Structure 1
Amino acid sequence: MNARSPEALVRDTGRRNEAVILNAALEAFGTRGFNGASMRDVAKGAGTSLSNLYNYFPSKSKLLAAVLRHANDELQHRVLRAVEEAGDDAPSQLREAVRAHVGFVVDHQVATLVATNEVRYLEPDDRTALVSHRDATQATFERIIDQGAADGAFRTPYARDAARAILSAVAAIASWYRRDGALSRGQLAEQYARYALALLEGPLPR
């Protein structure tokens, strides 16, 4: 598998054929970019007609918005589940939140790249909605960091900027990670969790 091969990001939407279309769109956007990909390319990749594709999505921008919404929903689900299972202390919650985010980036590398590079092509309302959803994910990290700063677990004087720095570093993994590289998925997740805790001047796991 190529390091940037498209992943099956969408497995079910409750509407027949929609998941196939969204995954085909992810492949097209990841391979050709938003401007280079056409609705005809997506229809061909999904094994459907162009007219049927337009029954689901009225424009290429709306199709991109749906792909990015599914990507963010999956990321948010993973992070929230990891935090819920981590326990009550901030360092453990942060470690597991970062590990979950790294796991998402590795599992959905193309989706992460598309979300980073193609978001500017969204229509204003869709961009506003996506930013709001992304802010909700960032808010989870901010809450954990605020808790750790308040109880003394995190000693950094820059707590308010830390969440953005951590999330940016993790998202950047998508631009260079290779599945046949030196680090496994688990090793990379652990490494970035340690980076995050070191950035916050928190206790490192033994």
Structure 2
Amino acid sequence: MNERSERRSAKQPSPGLNHQPIMNGALAAFAEHGFNGASMRDIAKRADTSLSNVYNYFPSKEDLLVAVLKDTNGELLRRTNRTVAAAKPNPTDRLRAAVRAYVGFVVDAQPASIVALSELRYLGGERRKAVVAARDETEALFLRLVEEGVESGEFTTTRPHDATRAVLLLCATVANWFRPDGELSREAVAELQADFALALVGARNN
């Protein structure tokens, strides 16, 4: 049975079945081969399941990419929110905590973070909108922190939206260059990026 016929014959999954192994297989395939180079058959093999079962959950490779990217964005937002909530109430400490959390996530989930950076370009239409909407929640969190700092006088930037985008890019691109055996530890990289982020927003008490 070829890949197309297996897709046509796929049945809907039974409630309660776990699709996480498929998500994990897709992430590994996308990280190693990119979206174009990964195949649904390879994803099924990595998930130790049948191709038809993959199609039960995800009608297309694009749907799998959406699921992986939304899952990544969701976990990043949850981790960042928790860390900011536990930080001191002043904007400088809150933004520093947010950057530490973002960079820590990028290092801990480096393959997922690389996929999030490089593979969104393959999505269009409603699929892209769904992923961008999830990503925008993290951007909104950081923008609120920057605007709080501007309003309180702790941050001197006159362009909070542009500064926020620069901070997010600073955090996200750590995925491209961090190495576990490199000169800087996970914690040192997070602290360094936090210093850079506070400089970008013109923090008076960096």
Give CA-to-partner distance per residue, 1:5-56, whole Å, 9 cap, x none: xxxxxxxxx9433111101100000101111110000000010111111111
TM-score where L is the length of structure 2: 0.89
1:189 matched residue in structure 2:
190
Higher Rg of the two aligned structures? 2
Conserved? CA contact 2:154–2:205, under 8 Å: no
User: Partners of 2:157 and 2:115 in 1: how far apart?
Assistant: 32
Cα distance in 1 between the residues matched to 2:163 and 2:151? 14
Backbone CA RMSD of aligned residues: 1.4
Which position in structure 1 is the counterpart of 2:169?
Answer: 168
Aligned counterpart, 1:97: 98
Mean Cα displacement is larger for which, 118-127 or 196-205?
196-205
Aligned equivalents of 1:23, 1:125: Cα separation in 2:
23
Counterparts of 1:203 and 1:47 in 2: how far apart (Å)? 54
User: Which whole-Å deviations, capped at 9, do the CAs of 1:129-159 have from their partners, x for residues lacking one?
Assistant: 1111111110111111111101110112232
| Alignment correspondent of 2:133 | 132
Give 1:59's aligned residue.
Answer: 60
Task: Report the equivalent of 1:148.
Answer: 149
Q: Which moved more, 1:194-203 or 1:14-23?
A: 14-23
- Residue deviations 1:180-200 (CA, integer Å, cap 9, x gap): 101111111111111111122
**For the Cα contact (< 8 Å) 1:34–1:121, is it kept in 2?**
yes
1:200 aligns with 2:201: yes
What do residues 56-112 of structure 1 show as CA deviations (whole Å, max 9, x unaligned)? 111110011000010000000011111111132110110000000000110111111
How far, CA to CA, are the matches of 2:17 and 2:181 in structure 1? 35
Structure 1 segments unaligned to the other structure (5+ residues) = 1-13
Aligned equivalents of 2:68 and 2:22: distance in 1? 10
SS in 2 for 1:83: helix
Aligned to 2:178: 177
CA distance in 1, matches of 2:99, 2:166: 12
| Conserved 8 A contact 2:100-2:190 | yes
Counterpart CA distance in 2 for 1:118 and 1:151 is: 38
Aligned to 2:42: 41
- Tell me which stretches of 4 or more aligned residues in structure 1 moved more than 6 Å: none
Separation in 1, partners of 2:204, 2:34? 41
Most deviating of 80-89 and 27-36: 80-89
